[in-house]
């Protein structure tokens, strides 16, 4: 290591708080989560009239409710802004008959509608959000699942056991008794909930209902926790939805019935059958898997002709038929389309197209990211609304979606083979082969050694590097270049290697700091899982060599194939050095502040003879554990006899004196003590897919995981408060005090 890099590395972990270990492992019981409902708190006096309104958007045929879908009631209530999160409004069941609710709303329209009138209306006619669901006690819950025996480190084992115990806080079922029944004076009431017949796991926070793609990573954790009945229930719910709606909606509310999410049902089904040996589910599941794939073919697939080979392929894209604000994000969509500061207001057609783009962006699961935008930096990172008006989701053919569908057809073929149905298996393998050919033609750049989305507007590949580059590898599509050369195989992961050496956190979505939540500096649990699985998918003949190292005076950035990231080294996000108030240098060997002897900081311990892919897996797995455990500890988490609770002075920094530790939905490339940031809602805690990935990591990498070194909270808070700017406009490092405050409050109020 160069001397300058060593000095910076020393500064990085100066004052790191110790995570002591002991011989006795004792996991703490799950925390008691306060379940509450939001209190209306408009930001203007109650006597104030609500803002003037633009004409209503067309009624959406897929969402006919006059209470919970786009219409005059929802628009007026949202413009009053009684709650910080518009989803609160549409998650509140009524306390009266629908007709009475509409009559009460009509009565306040007879004069100027005021903030106070809206608040009174909500208090009188609606109940608490999410009351249609109730917690479920898990019978025969095994506190010591077998995977824990794979974890060598006592602290990591105890933390994994603690997270395993969180499932009991996240299991839900429909609570029909919460609604006033038909035949009573006030019933029937109305709710936005899609009632489900089986139990399920919620992500947490504002996400009170079952969600589609979240469930994949939840299922990965449930399998490791040996909760096969809950996995089966999850699949049964999805099959019910396939029978009732013909597809699996984004989530379990009627306002999601215009869109789906990344189609991971078949992967969940295959993983469940493999783990449980329950093949009886296939009698019902296989016909419904066919229905799922047909929906994506009929509604989201178009023919794309390659400008590289002139071959035409059936490729899927996200494309939602919607011409109104999304009910759960009504205010944000409304203001994006009707911004009073626009010099030239949008036309009606432009507004309707924008609403379709916003809904399509939500269908991707990446809502929102620069990968979907023509001008991702319009307005700057502190004002993301102008960029949202440049969404081009429907004209983007995503590498991730098509990789998932390729694998879905391949897995269905395998399941048919197991049922001795060779004809059906062959049909799906043929479809999979066509999708695979399209992926390698349209998305793969053999010189940059990465996959990129294909843009129908420009008829060219995008040049934006995203975590989606690892989706084809995860799904078994490995280009010949990678199969024949260890150097090129490493080149496909050289950017991940740079992240681990240069930054404190984990793999970001992109390296563009746009202010969107699916861009830098945010690092999401599913992408850490996918990167790890992509590494595991490579054959040993190209992964057994040692991890390459940069030459003298160079950094790991120099190991990345030319043009792969698409940004200059000097334009990368910054990494704040704790204790200095300054960012690390961005060029040269000193940029790799986390490089250690044979490994990286918080990357575990190097072993003799370790191949480069095994090294990256060990380092990323450990860094993910560090992000989850350190941020949990920073918000009040403790483990008796192993990890003492922080002092009130330290927890005051994160506003966590009364908290017991949070598992966040997203993390940061630059700070293992902090949650991610950005987006149209506050960072949520819970959190289903974070927990699932942690348990999967513990099960698969338990023998190489070690207790992390977490930053000193007081020193870090002082550093971030005195550092007014970071290298990029939005800042690469997130202040613990400013970031975690809103997160902790959201966790306590909305869980």
| Cβ count near 730 (within 10 Å) | 18
From residue 475, alpha-carbon distances to 199, 238, 447, 502 in Å are 29, 22, 21, 28
Contacts of 88 (CB under 8 A, 6+ apart): 38, 129, 206
pLDDT value at residue 39: 75
pLDDT value at residue 35: 44
Cα–Cα–Cα angle for 379, 669, 390, rounded to 5 degrees: 25
In the structure, what pLDDT confidence band is assigned to residue 401 with cuts at 50, 70 and 90? very high
pLDDT in tens, 599-637: 999 999 999 999 999 999 999 999 999 999 999 999 999
pLDDT value at residue 483: 98
Greatest CA separation for the chain: 81
- Contact (CB, 8 A) for 148 and 695: no
Beta bridge partners of 134: 173
Determine the average pLDDT of the residues in 253-265.
98
In the structure, what pLDDT confidence band is assigned to residue 19 with cuts at 50, 70 and 90? low
The listed range with the strongest mean pLDDT (130-134, 147-151, 685-689) is: 147-151
In the structure, what pLDDT confidence band is assigned to residue 678 with cuts at 50, 70 and 90? low
Helices (H), 246-383: 265-276, 282-300, 330-337, 348-363
Determine the average pLDDT of the residues in 457-481.
99
Of 672, 747, 650, whose CA–CA distance to 31 is shortest?
747
pLDDT in tens, 20-70: 443 333 344 443 434 446 777 777 777 777 888 888 999 999 999 999 999
Contacts of 358 (CB under 8 A, 6+ apart): 322, 325, 326, 329, 333, 336, 388, 391
**How far, in Å, CA of 585 to CA of 250, rounded?**
42
pLDDT in tens, 347-357: 999 999 999 99
Task: Provide the token pair at 256.
Answer: 């999601």
pLDDT value at residue 17: 62
Determine the average pLDDT of the residues in 414-424.
97
In the structure, what pLDDT confidence band is assigned to residue 751 with cuts at 50, 70 and 90? very low
Task: Provide the token pair at 588.
Answer: 């040269």
**How far, in Å, CA of 353 to CA of 346, rounded?**
10
Query: Under DSSP, is residue 489 helix (H, G, I), strand (E, B) or coil?
Result: helix
Task: Provide the token pair at 710.
Answer: 């977490």
Contacts of 245 (CB under 8 A, 6+ apart): 257
pLDDT of 414 strictly over 60: yes
pLDDT value at residue 312: 99
pLDDT of 451 strictly over 80: yes
pLDDT value at residue 354: 99
Beta bridge partners of 599: 596
Cis peptide before 188 (omega within 30 of 0): yes
Determine the average pLDDT of the residues in 248-252.
98
Determine the average pLDDT of the residues in 205-221.
96
pLDDT in tens, 709-750: 999 988 887 776 655 433 333 323 333 444 443 444 333 333
φ and ψ at residue 114, rounded to 5 degrees: -105, 165
Instruction: Identify the weakest region by mean pLDDT among 128-132, 253-257, 282-286, 743-747.
Output: 743-747
pLDDT value at residue 38: 77
pTM: 0.92
**How far, in Å, CA of 396 to CA of 154, rounded?**
46
In the structure, what pLDDT confidence band is assigned to residue 110 with cuts at 50, 70 and 90? confident
Task: Provide the token pair at 71.
Answer: 């219409």
pLDDT value at residue 504: 97
pLDDT value at residue 51: 85
Residue with tokens 């296939």: 282
Task: Provide the token pair at 451.
Answer: 């996959």
Distance of CA 388 to the CA centre of its chain: 19
Determine the average pLDDT of the residues in 272-295.
98
pLDDT value at residue 568: 92
| Cβ count near 22 (within 10 Å) | 14
Average pLDDT across the chain, whole number? 90
Query: Under DSSP, is residue 6 helix (H, G, I), strand (E, B) or coil?
Result: helix
Beta bridge partners of 301: 316
- Contact (CB, 8 A) for 497 and 547: yes
């Amino acid at each position: 290591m160069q001397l300058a890099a060593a000095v910076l590395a020393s500064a990085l972990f100066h004052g790191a708080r110790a995570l002591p270990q002991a011989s006795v492992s004792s996991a703490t019981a799950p925390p008691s989560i306060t379940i509450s409902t939001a209190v209306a708190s408009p930001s203007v006096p109650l006597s104030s009239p609500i803002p003037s309104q633009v004409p209503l958007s067309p009624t959406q045929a897929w969402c006919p409710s006059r209470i919970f879908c786009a219409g005059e009631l929802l628009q007026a209530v949202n413009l009053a802004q009684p709650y910080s999160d518009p989803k609160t409004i549409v998650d509140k069941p009524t306390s009266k008959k629908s007709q009475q609710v509409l009559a009460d709303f009509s009565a306040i329209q007879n004069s100027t509608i005021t903030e106070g009138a809206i608040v009174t209306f909500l208090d009188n006619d609606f109940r608490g959000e999410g009351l249609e669901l109730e917690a479920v006690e898990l019978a025969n819950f095994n506190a010591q699942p077998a995977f824990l025996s794979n974890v060598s480190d006592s602290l990591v084992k105890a933390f994994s056991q603690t997270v395993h115990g969180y499932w009991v806080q996240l299991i839900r079922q429909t609570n029909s008794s919460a609604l006033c029944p038909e035949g009573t004076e006030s019933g029937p009431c109305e709710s936005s909930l899609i009632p489900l017949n089986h139990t399920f796991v919620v992500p947490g926070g504002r996400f009170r209902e079952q969600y589609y793609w979240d469930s994949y990573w939840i299922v990965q954790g449930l399998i490791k926790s040996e909760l096969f009945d809950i996995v089966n229930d999850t699949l049964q719910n999805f099959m019910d939805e396939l029978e009732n709606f013909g597809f699996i909606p984004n989530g379990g509310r009627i306002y999601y019935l215009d869109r789906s999410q990344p189609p991971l049902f078949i992967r969940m089904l295959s993983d469940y059958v493999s783990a449980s040996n329950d093949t009886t589910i296939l009698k019902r599941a296989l016909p419904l898997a066919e229905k799922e794939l047909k929906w994506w073919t009929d509604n989201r697939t178009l023919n794309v002709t390659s400008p590289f080979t002139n071959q035409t392929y059936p490729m899927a894209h996200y494309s939602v038929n919607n011409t109104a604000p999304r009910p759960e994000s009504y205010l944000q969509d409304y203001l994006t389309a009707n911004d009073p500061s626009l010099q030239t207001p949008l036309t009606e057609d432009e507004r309707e197209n924008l609403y379709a783009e916003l809904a399509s962006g939500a269908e991707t699961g990446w809502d929102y990211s620069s990968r979907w935008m023509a001008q991702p930096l319009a307005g700057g990172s502190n004002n993301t609304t102008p960029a949202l008006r440049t969404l081009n989701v429907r004209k983007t053919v995503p590498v991730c979606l098509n990789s998932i569908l390729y694998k879905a057809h391949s897995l269905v073929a395998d399941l048919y083979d197991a049922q001795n149905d060779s004809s059906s298996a062959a049909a799906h393998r043929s479809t999979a082969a066509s999708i695979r050919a399209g992926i390698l033609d349209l998305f793969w750049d053999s010189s940059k050694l990465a996959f990129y989305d294909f843009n129908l507007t420009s008829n060219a590949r995008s040049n934006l590097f995203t975590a989606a580059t690892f989706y084809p590898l995860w799904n078994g599509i490995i280009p010949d270049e990678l199969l024949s050369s260890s150097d090129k195989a490493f080149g496909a992961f050289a950017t991940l290697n740079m992240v681990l050496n240069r930054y404190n956190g984990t793999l970001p979505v992109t390296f563009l700091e746009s202010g969107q939540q699916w861009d830098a500096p945010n690092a999401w649990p599913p992408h850490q899982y996918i990167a790890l699985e992509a590494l595991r998918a490579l054959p040993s003949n190209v992964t057994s060599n040692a991890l390459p190292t940069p030459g003298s005076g160079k950094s790991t950035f120099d190991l990345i194939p030319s043009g792969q990231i698409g940004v200059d080294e000097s334009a990368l996000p910054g990494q704040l050095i704790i204790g200095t108030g300054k960012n690390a240098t961005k060029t040269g060997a000193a940029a790799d502040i986390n490089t250690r002897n044979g490994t990286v900081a918080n990357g575990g311990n190097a072993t003799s003879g370790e191949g480069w892919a095994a090294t990256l897996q060990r380092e990323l797995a450990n860094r993910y554990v560090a992000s989850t455990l350190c941020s949990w500890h920073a918000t009040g988490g403790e483990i008796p006899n192993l990890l003492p609770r922080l002092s009130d002075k330290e927890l005051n920094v994160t506003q966590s004196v009364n908290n017991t530790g949070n598992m966040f939905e997203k993390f940061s490339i630059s700070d293992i003590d902090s949650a991610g940031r950005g987006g149209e809602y506050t960072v949520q805690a819970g959190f289903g897919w974070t927990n699932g990935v942690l348990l999967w990591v513990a099960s698969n990498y338990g023998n190489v995981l070690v207790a992390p070194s977490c930053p000193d909270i007081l020193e870090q808070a002082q550093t971030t408060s005195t550092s007014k700017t970071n290298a990029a406009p939005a800042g690469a490092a997130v202040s613990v005090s400013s970031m975690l405050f809103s997160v902790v409050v959201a966790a306590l109020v909305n869980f």
